Amino acid sequence: MPYLFTSESVSEGHPDKVADQISDALIDNFLAFDPDAKVACETLVTTGQVVLAGEVKSNTYLDVQKIARDTINKIGYTKGEYMFDGNSCGVFSAIHEQSEDINRGVDRATKDEQGAGDQGMMFGYATRETNNYMPLALDISHLILKELAALRHENKDITYLRPDSKSQVTIEYSDDNTPQRIYSIVISTQHDEFGEEQAMLEKIRADIKSILIPRVIEKVPDHIKPLFNDAIIYHINPTGKFVIGGPHGDTGLTGRKIIVDTYGGKGAHGGGAFSGKDPSKVDRSAAYATRHIAKNLVAAGLCDEVLVQVSYAIGVVEPMGIFIDTYGTCPFNLTDGEIAQKVTDLFDMRPAAIEKRLKLRQPMYSETAAYGHMGRTNEIVTKTFQQPDGETITLDVELFTWEKLDYVDKVKTAFGL
């Protein structure tokens, strides 16, 4: 019997994502000038106010207020009527030095023997149902909001959009787990006050269907286009009005959108957030490493879907163990336990090895803080950073290294594929 599965996404202007982007902007600025920096930075945003808190061990100094304000303005919170804008909001910093009790478990005499920055378990997932090996419902949810943000920044075809928005997509699957159609799409977008409530709502709903959705359909692969049909149930701004939003409408905190950040509810999640953490925190680095493993296993043809788990103890170099679940999709005479053993031999999961393999000491994190950390495009970009004294540094930064398929041949060799 067919079944339904749903995933959601939130925009760059959602208050929790504003917080994530500020935290990751701080990470990038620290790493640009001090690649060995240890940072765990949390952000809270609310009406007219930003609060920064966390622990840092670094030899560089940053103007954290300017970084926060620049991030907020870039997102699009630039008007006083939003009750939260980058030029006028207060920015309070309670960032202090990292605890030596934590740091002693991480730093070692040699870099290779670096211990895990915390205990916990991390999961990576991949599936063959999309070209980027991501769950389809989440992929479309992200794309809807990327295009909505593009329309807002263009300020041409739709001129009343404000930064805060959410999406949700429900896919109908057949018994053999094949997507059949999009069952429903939910979109809530913040907007200006531009008329009588019912007239505003009708205008927004018409524009979303006639302007946004065609742009989304144009961007999806050809084999996904038929899933969009006239039978889709749309819920667009279902409350009827969404003028008050962003940090004025709802307080935002770093790390509250971890399912949006990963796999939209598919697979599993260990519970640790990513944004605001340098790569010595395995919550972040090992989650990227397990995604890298999962994607390469599926791309190599070992299975159609896979979940990879790794776990750590704080200050301990070697992981506690690696778990593999192929959901019965491995066509070869291999158990999940046998696959896990070969993966353990193939991928060095010590924290320092992960940092080196995925080049995680680059200022590469601002781009991860909205529209998902997984399934993104691996590319090299040029970034410029500035310190308070005016010193600038320009770097070529490789983004989303965990999305590379650089281990496919090694996987095929290891498994005799």
Residue numbering of the annotated binding site: 14, 16, 42, 55, 98, 164-166, 241-242, 250, 256-257, 273, 277, 281
Binding-site annotation: residue ranges for ATP: 14, 164-166, 241-242, 250, 256-257, 273, 277
> Annotated binding residues for L-methionine, as ranges?
55, 98, 250, 281
d(C-alpha 231, C-alpha 146), whole Å: 24
Q: From the annotation, which residues make up the binding site for Mg(2+)?
A: 16
Annotate the chain with three-state secondary structure: CCEEEEEEEECCCCHHHHHHHHHHHHHHHHHHHCCCCEEEEEEEEECCEEEEEEEEECCCCCCHHHHHHHHHHHHCCCCHHHCCCCCCCEEEEEEEECCHHHHHHHCCCCHHHCCECCCEEEEEEEECCCCCCCCHHHHHHHHHHHHHHHHHHHCCCCCCEEEEEEEEEEEEECCCCCEEEEEEEEEEEEECCCCCHHHHHHHHHHHHHHHHHHHHHHHCCCCCHHHCCCCCEEEECCCCCCCCCHHHHCCEECCCCHHHHCCCCCCCCCCCCCCCECCCCHHHHHHHHHHHHHHHHHHCCCCCEEEEEEEECECCCCCCEEEEECCCCCCCCCCHHHHHHHHHHHCCCCHHHHHHHCCCCCCCCHHHCCCCCCCCCCEEEEEEEECCCCCEEEEEEEECHHHCCCCHHHHHHHHCC
Backbone φ and ψ of 215, nearest 5°: -65, -40
**Binding-site entries for K(+):** 42
Phi-psi sector, 255: left (phi>0), alpha (psi -120 to 50), beta: left
